[in-house]
Amino acid sequence: MSDDRGAAPNYTNAALVMGYVNLLWIFGVIWAVFGMPLVLLVSFLLNLLIDRLALRN
Q: What is the pLDDT of the chain when averaged over all its residues?
A: 94
Residue 49: the pLDDT is 96
* Across 28-40, average pLDDT: 97
* Across 21-41, average pLDDT: 97
- Contact call for residues 39 and 30 (beta carbons, < 8 A): yes
The share of the chain scoring above pLDDT 90, in percent, equals 84
CA distance linking residue 46 with residue 24, whole number of Å: 13
Residue 1: the pLDDT is 61
How distant is the alpha carbon of residue 4 from its chain centre?
34
**Torsion angle defined by CA atoms of residues 53, 42, 32 and 25, in that order, rounded to the nearest 10 degrees:** 0
